[in-house]
Amino acid sequence: MRAAAEVLSRPMRRRGKELERAIFEAALDQLTSGGFARLTMEGVAGAARTGKAALYRRWASKVELVIDALDSTLPRPDGTPDLGSARDELLLLVEGFVEAMDSRAGGAMQALMAELDHAQAEFFKDFIGQRVTEPTKIAILDILGRGAGRGEVRPGAVTPLVADVVPAMLLYRVKSGGRPIGLGYATELVDEVMVPLIRA
């Protein structure tokens, strides 16, 4: 038994992407199960079965490690196809966000956002903006622009302020915690908030 435990605790010889993947998986698991405050570089190294030095060679802090782990694993928002209906396109976009939040990385992101206070959130503000908020707003503006061209969206609704509504409400839901973001919420957000707001 002791010999088996020693083998399991021994660092594995992995390099490059394979080692990086194992480290990211360990970081996301620790973030989801224990939260950001309890996540440590030592704990991640142990769970990934590598040496702590392998982490510090690339990441100076756990903040940098968590940002890279989330960035590499969160689904990236792609352009929403033209479905001939702004409502259907918005719903597809919001459902994609919901599915992303249901992923492993999304669960870690929810755990992170629910825990962070204002000072800690500053570390992750740029990442969330560049990786989540801004791509979502750009996609919404594209949808609204197409809808305005079809005459189903009022031209005055094709603005950054209107495009802020969906990411703001989704991130508020994530941050406030306790209420799941499901496909039902996606439909409510589109049909009860966005469609009345943008209707021509």
Give the per-residue pLDDT at 61: 92
Gap between the Cα atoms of 183 and 101, Å rounded: 11
Q: Which domains are delineated in the chain?
A: 2-71 (1.10.357.10), 77-198 (1.10.357.10)
Calculate what percentage of the chain has a pLDDT beyond 90.
Answer: 50
pLDDT per residue over 135-194, tens digit each? 999 999 999 999 999 999 999 999 999 999 999 998 888 777 656 678 899 999 999 999
**pLDDT (average), residues 65-86:** 87
Do 191 and 87 meet the contact criterion of CB atoms below 8 Å apart? yes
Do 132 and 171 meet the contact criterion of CB atoms below 8 Å apart? yes
Gap between the Cα atoms of 77 and 83, Å rounded: 17
**Please, which contacts does 194-199 make with residues 24 or more away whose CB atoms are closer than 8 Å?**
194/87, 194/90, 194/165, 194/166, 195/87, 195/90, 197/157, 197/162, 197/165, 198/86, 198/144, 198/147, 198/153, 198/154, 198/157, 198/162, 199/152, 199/153, 199/154
Whole-structure pTM value: 0.77
